[in-house]
Amino acid sequence: MASIFPLPAPTLPDFSTLLINGEYHPSAPIHLALSHINARDAAKVLILVPSRTRFTAKVKQAKDDFINKQGGTGRVAKAARRVEILYPPTPSHLELLFSLFHEALVEGKDFLHPKTTFSVSPSLVVLCEPSTYFEDQQATISSYLAVIFQALSLVNTLSDQCGKPVALALFDSGLDNLRLPILKLPDSPVIPSEGDSIRAGIRRESTVELARRYFEWVGTVERDDESLSAGRHRYTFRLAHTQSSQEANNAETFWHWRERVDAEGNVSYDFDSSNDIDS
Protein backbone atom coordinates (compact mmCIF):
# COMPACT_ATOMS: atom_id res chain seq x y z
CA MET A 1 0.00 0.00 0.00
CA ALA A 2 1.15 3.53 -0.76
CA SER A 3 1.54 6.34 1.76
CA ILE A 4 2.59 9.98 1.92
CA PHE A 5 4.85 9.05 4.86
CA PRO A 6 7.78 6.64 5.31
CA LEU A 7 6.44 3.26 6.41
CA PRO A 8 5.26 2.15 8.91
CA ALA A 9 2.52 4.74 8.58
CA PRO A 10 -1.14 5.07 7.63
CA THR A 11 -1.67 3.99 4.03
CA LEU A 12 -3.86 5.29 1.25
CA PRO A 13 -6.59 3.25 -0.41
CA ASP A 14 -6.07 2.15 -3.97
CA PHE A 15 -6.95 5.13 -6.14
CA SER A 16 -7.21 6.12 -9.77
CA THR A 17 -7.16 9.87 -9.05
CA LEU A 18 -6.08 11.61 -5.84
CA LEU A 19 -5.94 15.29 -4.89
CA ILE A 20 -4.00 16.41 -1.79
CA ASN A 21 -4.16 20.04 -0.73
CA GLY A 22 -3.41 22.03 2.40
CA GLU A 23 -0.24 22.09 4.52
CA TYR A 24 1.18 18.73 3.54
CA HIS A 25 4.87 18.10 4.24
CA PRO A 26 7.12 18.81 1.21
CA SER A 27 8.44 15.24 1.10
CA ALA A 28 4.93 13.75 0.73
CA PRO A 29 5.12 13.31 -3.09
CA ILE A 30 8.47 11.54 -2.72
CA HIS A 31 7.12 9.14 -0.10
CA LEU A 32 4.08 8.43 -2.27
CA ALA A 33 6.32 7.62 -5.23
CA LEU A 34 8.68 5.36 -3.26
CA SER A 35 5.93 3.48 -1.43
CA HIS A 36 3.99 3.03 -4.68
CA ILE A 37 7.05 1.46 -6.30
CA ASN A 38 7.85 -0.78 -3.33
CA ALA A 39 4.26 -2.07 -3.30
CA ARG A 40 4.23 -3.00 -7.00
CA ASP A 41 6.52 -5.02 -9.22
CA ALA A 42 7.96 -3.14 -12.21
CA ALA A 43 6.22 0.08 -11.21
CA LYS A 44 7.49 3.42 -12.44
CA VAL A 45 6.54 6.94 -11.30
CA LEU A 46 6.64 10.22 -13.19
CA ILE A 47 6.70 13.44 -11.13
CA LEU A 48 6.09 16.84 -12.73
CA VAL A 49 7.15 19.94 -10.78
CA PRO A 50 7.06 23.59 -11.96
CA SER A 51 10.31 24.65 -10.27
CA ARG A 52 13.35 22.52 -9.47
CA THR A 53 14.78 25.26 -7.24
CA ARG A 54 11.64 25.70 -5.16
CA PHE A 55 10.94 21.96 -4.89
CA THR A 56 14.45 20.97 -3.77
CA ALA A 57 14.68 23.92 -1.37
CA LYS A 58 11.43 22.95 0.36
CA VAL A 59 12.44 19.29 0.67
CA LYS A 60 15.84 20.22 2.12
CA GLN A 61 14.28 22.74 4.50
CA ALA A 62 11.81 20.13 5.74
CA LYS A 63 14.74 17.95 6.94
CA ASP A 64 12.82 14.71 6.55
CA ASP A 65 14.52 12.15 8.80
CA PHE A 66 13.85 9.22 6.47
CA ILE A 67 15.22 10.96 3.38
CA ASN A 68 18.30 12.32 5.17
CA LYS A 69 19.22 9.03 6.86
CA GLN A 70 17.91 6.32 4.54
CA GLY A 71 17.73 8.04 1.17
CA GLY A 72 21.03 6.50 0.10
CA THR A 73 20.38 2.94 1.30
CA GLY A 74 20.07 0.12 -1.19
CA ARG A 75 16.31 -0.46 -1.16
CA VAL A 76 15.46 3.25 -1.28
CA ALA A 77 18.04 3.99 -3.96
CA LYS A 78 16.77 1.09 -6.05
CA ALA A 79 13.23 2.43 -5.86
CA ALA A 80 14.39 6.00 -6.56
CA ARG A 81 15.92 4.89 -9.87
CA ARG A 82 12.39 4.15 -11.05
CA VAL A 83 11.22 7.71 -10.30
CA GLU A 84 11.63 10.33 -13.01
CA ILE A 85 11.20 14.02 -12.16
CA LEU A 86 10.74 16.67 -14.83
CA TYR A 87 10.42 20.41 -14.31
CA PRO A 88 8.19 22.11 -16.93
CA PRO A 89 8.47 25.82 -16.00
CA THR A 90 5.24 27.09 -17.59
CA PRO A 91 1.76 25.75 -18.43
CA SER A 92 2.77 25.74 -22.11
CA HIS A 93 5.78 23.52 -21.40
CA LEU A 94 3.57 21.22 -19.31
CA GLU A 95 0.97 20.99 -22.07
CA LEU A 96 3.70 20.16 -24.59
CA LEU A 97 5.01 17.34 -22.41
CA PHE A 98 1.49 15.97 -21.94
CA SER A 99 1.09 15.82 -25.72
CA LEU A 100 4.47 14.11 -26.29
CA PHE A 101 4.50 11.45 -23.56
CA HIS A 102 3.96 7.96 -24.93
CA GLU A 103 5.10 4.39 -24.53
CA ALA A 104 7.71 3.08 -26.96
CA LEU A 105 6.64 1.08 -30.01
CA VAL A 106 3.17 2.62 -30.10
CA GLU A 107 1.76 2.82 -33.61
CA GLY A 108 1.97 6.27 -35.14
CA LYS A 109 4.68 7.56 -32.77
CA ASP A 110 7.86 7.80 -34.80
CA PHE A 111 9.38 10.57 -32.68
CA LEU A 112 11.37 8.97 -29.86
CA HIS A 113 12.92 11.10 -27.14
CA PRO A 114 14.47 9.87 -23.86
CA LYS A 115 12.41 12.34 -21.79
CA THR A 116 9.03 11.74 -23.38
CA THR A 117 9.21 8.13 -24.61
CA PHE A 118 8.72 5.47 -21.93
CA SER A 119 10.13 2.00 -22.35
CA VAL A 120 7.50 1.10 -19.75
CA SER A 121 4.68 3.50 -19.00
CA PRO A 122 4.56 4.91 -15.46
CA SER A 123 1.90 3.39 -13.24
CA LEU A 124 1.61 6.68 -11.34
CA VAL A 125 1.84 10.30 -12.52
CA VAL A 126 2.34 12.91 -9.77
CA LEU A 127 1.69 16.57 -10.52
CA CYS A 128 3.01 19.01 -7.90
CA GLU A 129 1.97 22.59 -7.14
CA PRO A 130 0.30 23.59 -10.44
CA SER A 131 -1.16 26.68 -8.71
CA THR A 132 2.32 28.27 -8.90
CA TYR A 133 1.88 28.48 -12.67
CA PHE A 134 -0.80 31.10 -12.14
CA GLU A 135 0.76 33.30 -9.45
CA ASP A 136 2.30 35.96 -11.70
CA GLN A 137 0.22 35.96 -14.84
CA GLN A 138 -3.30 36.63 -15.99
CA ALA A 139 -5.28 33.41 -15.78
CA THR A 140 -8.80 32.14 -15.21
CA ILE A 141 -10.31 29.19 -13.38
CA SER A 142 -10.43 27.34 -16.68
CA SER A 143 -6.63 27.75 -16.94
CA TYR A 144 -6.17 25.65 -13.80
CA LEU A 145 -8.86 23.16 -14.73
CA ALA A 146 -7.23 22.74 -18.16
CA VAL A 147 -4.11 21.40 -16.42
CA ILE A 148 -6.25 18.82 -14.63
CA PHE A 149 -7.99 17.82 -17.88
CA GLN A 150 -4.66 17.44 -19.66
CA ALA A 151 -3.27 15.29 -16.84
CA LEU A 152 -6.37 13.09 -16.84
CA SER A 153 -6.11 12.73 -20.59
CA LEU A 154 -2.46 11.70 -20.25
CA VAL A 155 -3.08 8.92 -17.73
CA ASN A 156 -6.01 7.62 -19.79
CA THR A 157 -3.85 7.58 -22.94
CA LEU A 158 -0.95 5.84 -21.20
CA SER A 159 -3.35 3.32 -19.68
CA ASP A 160 -4.73 2.49 -23.13
CA GLN A 161 -1.22 2.13 -24.54
CA CYS A 162 0.13 -0.18 -21.83
CA GLY A 163 -3.12 -2.02 -21.06
CA LYS A 164 -2.81 -1.32 -17.33
CA PRO A 165 -4.31 1.37 -15.08
CA VAL A 166 -2.24 4.52 -14.61
CA ALA A 167 -3.08 6.60 -11.54
CA LEU A 168 -2.89 10.37 -11.12
CA ALA A 169 -2.00 12.21 -7.89
CA LEU A 170 -2.05 15.99 -7.64
CA PHE A 171 -0.40 17.81 -4.72
CA ASP A 172 -1.12 21.52 -4.33
CA SER A 173 -0.56 23.44 -1.09
CA GLY A 174 -1.64 26.69 -2.74
CA LEU A 175 -4.97 25.47 -4.07
CA ASP A 176 -7.00 26.49 -1.00
CA ASN A 177 -5.99 30.14 -1.49
CA LEU A 178 -6.08 30.20 -5.27
CA ARG A 179 -8.81 32.56 -6.45
CA LEU A 180 -9.10 33.21 -10.16
CA PRO A 181 -11.57 35.10 -12.35
CA ILE A 182 -14.07 33.18 -14.41
CA LEU A 183 -13.54 35.36 -17.47
CA LYS A 184 -10.29 36.70 -18.88
CA LEU A 185 -9.93 40.47 -19.02
CA PRO A 186 -9.27 42.07 -22.43
CA ASP A 187 -5.64 42.95 -22.96
CA SER A 188 -6.59 46.46 -24.05
CA PRO A 189 -9.69 48.02 -22.46
CA VAL A 190 -11.96 50.02 -24.74
CA ILE A 191 -11.29 53.02 -22.50
CA PRO A 192 -7.63 52.75 -21.39
CA SER A 193 -8.16 54.97 -18.35
CA GLU A 194 -10.69 52.47 -16.96
CA GLY A 195 -8.37 49.47 -17.18
CA ASP A 196 -7.15 49.62 -13.57
CA SER A 197 -10.64 50.04 -12.13
CA ILE A 198 -11.93 47.09 -14.14
CA ARG A 199 -9.11 44.86 -12.92
CA ALA A 200 -9.64 45.95 -9.32
CA GLY A 201 -13.35 45.20 -9.47
CA ILE A 202 -13.21 41.82 -11.18
CA ARG A 203 -14.72 38.98 -9.19
CA ARG A 204 -12.42 36.11 -8.31
CA GLU A 205 -13.72 32.67 -7.36
CA SER A 206 -12.24 29.85 -5.29
CA THR A 207 -10.73 27.14 -7.45
CA VAL A 208 -10.49 24.30 -4.93
CA GLU A 209 -14.14 23.22 -4.93
CA LEU A 210 -14.23 22.96 -8.71
CA ALA A 211 -10.93 21.05 -8.81
CA ARG A 212 -12.17 18.52 -6.25
CA ARG A 213 -14.92 17.35 -8.57
CA TYR A 214 -12.48 15.66 -10.92
CA PHE A 215 -10.83 13.36 -8.35
CA GLU A 216 -11.92 10.07 -6.85
CA TRP A 217 -10.24 10.80 -3.49
CA VAL A 218 -9.49 14.18 -1.92
CA GLY A 219 -7.12 14.61 1.02
CA THR A 220 -6.76 17.83 2.99
CA VAL A 221 -3.97 18.51 5.51
CA GLU A 222 -4.66 21.02 8.27
CA ARG A 223 -2.34 22.27 11.02
CA ASP A 224 -3.68 22.88 14.51
CA ASP A 225 -1.71 25.91 15.69
CA GLU A 226 -3.27 25.70 19.16
CA SER A 227 -1.63 22.31 19.66
CA LEU A 228 1.90 23.72 19.35
CA SER A 229 4.10 22.27 22.08
CA ALA A 230 7.88 22.59 22.10
CA GLY A 231 7.88 23.42 18.41
CA ARG A 232 5.73 20.42 17.49
CA HIS A 233 2.58 21.06 15.48
CA ARG A 234 -0.30 18.64 15.37
CA TYR A 235 -1.69 17.88 11.91
CA THR A 236 -4.90 16.33 10.69
CA PHE A 237 -5.32 14.65 7.31
CA ARG A 238 -8.91 14.25 6.15
CA LEU A 239 -9.30 11.81 3.26
CA ALA A 240 -12.72 11.72 1.62
CA HIS A 241 -14.18 9.74 -1.24
CA THR A 242 -15.99 12.01 -3.65
CA GLN A 243 -18.72 9.47 -4.34
CA SER A 244 -21.58 8.55 -2.02
CA SER A 245 -21.01 6.28 0.97
CA GLN A 246 -22.89 3.53 -0.87
CA GLU A 247 -20.14 3.41 -3.46
CA ALA A 248 -17.16 3.45 -1.08
CA ASN A 249 -16.58 1.90 2.30
CA ASN A 250 -15.11 4.21 4.94
CA ALA A 251 -15.91 7.23 2.75
CA GLU A 252 -14.02 9.57 5.10
CA THR A 253 -10.84 8.83 7.06
CA PHE A 254 -8.84 10.96 9.50
CA TRP A 255 -5.13 10.70 10.32
CA HIS A 256 -3.52 12.65 13.16
CA TRP A 257 0.21 13.14 13.77
CA ARG A 258 2.82 15.37 15.37
CA GLU A 259 6.26 16.24 14.11
CA ARG A 260 9.22 14.98 16.15
CA VAL A 261 12.54 16.82 15.81
CA ASP A 262 15.76 15.08 16.83
CA ALA A 263 19.00 16.67 18.04
CA GLU A 264 20.20 17.17 14.45
CA GLY A 265 16.98 18.93 13.43
CA ASN A 266 15.64 16.01 11.38
CA VAL A 267 11.86 15.62 11.38
CA SER A 268 9.92 12.38 11.80
CA TYR A 269 6.26 11.75 12.53
CA ASP A 270 4.43 10.47 15.60
CA PHE A 271 1.01 9.12 14.69
CA ASP A 272 -1.91 8.95 17.08
CA SER A 273 -2.73 5.43 18.22
CA SER A 274 -6.18 5.75 16.59
CA ASN A 275 -4.61 5.64 13.12
CA ASP A 276 -4.32 2.37 11.22
CA ILE A 277 -0.58 1.79 10.77
CA ASP A 278 0.77 -0.52 8.07
CA SER A 279 4.37 -1.66 8.09
225 domain-assigned: yes
Q: Which of 48-62, 112-126, 237-251 has the lowest mean pLDDT?
A: 237-251
Q: Which of the two residues, 106 and 232, has the higher pLDDT score?
A: 232
User: What residues contact residue 197 under an 8 Å CB cut-off, 6+ apart?
Assistant: none
The per-residue pLDDT for 279 is 46
CA-to-CA distance for 9 and 81, rounded, in angstroms? 23
114 domain-assigned: yes
Among 9-13, 136-140, 240-244, top mean pLDDT goes to 9-13
9 domain-assigned: no
Residue range 112-132: average pLDDT?
A: 90
> Using an 8 Å Cβ cutoff, are 77 and 133 in contact?
no
1 domain-assigned: no
Give the sign of the dihedral formed by CA 41, CA 165, CA 143, CA 207. Answer: negative
12 domain-assigned: no
Among 103-117, 125-139, 185-199, top mean pLDDT goes to 125-139
The gap from C-alpha 157 to its chain's centroid, in whole angstroms, comes to 19
pLDDT at 247 over 70: no
Question: What is the domain-level CATH number for residue 162?
Answer: 3.40.50
Range of the domain at 222: 17-271
The per-residue pLDDT for 224 is 83
The gap from C-alpha 53 to its chain's centroid, in whole angstroms, comes to 17
CA-to-CA distance for 207 and 125, rounded, in angstroms? 22
The per-residue pLDDT for 176 is 94
> What is the DSSP track for 6-46?
SSSB--PPP-SEEEEEES--TTHHHHHHHHHHHTSTT--EE
How many folded domains does the chain comprise?
A: 1
CA-to-CA distance for 144 and 208, rounded, in angstroms? 10
276 domain-assigned: no
DSSP letter assigned to residue 51: -
Taking only the tens place, the pLDDT of each residue in 17-63 is: 999 999 999 999 999 999 999 998 778 999 999 999 999 999 999 99
Question: pTM, whole model, 2 decimals?
Answer: 0.88
User: Which residue, among 240, 237, 239, 242, has the nearest Cα to 221 in the 3D structure?
Assistant: 237
2 domain-assigned: no
pLDDT at 195 over 90: no
pLDDT at 16 over 80: yes
The per-residue pLDDT for 125 is 98
- Please, what is the average pLDDT of the chain? 86
160 domain-assigned: yes
- pLDDT band for position 244 (cuts 50, 70, 90): low
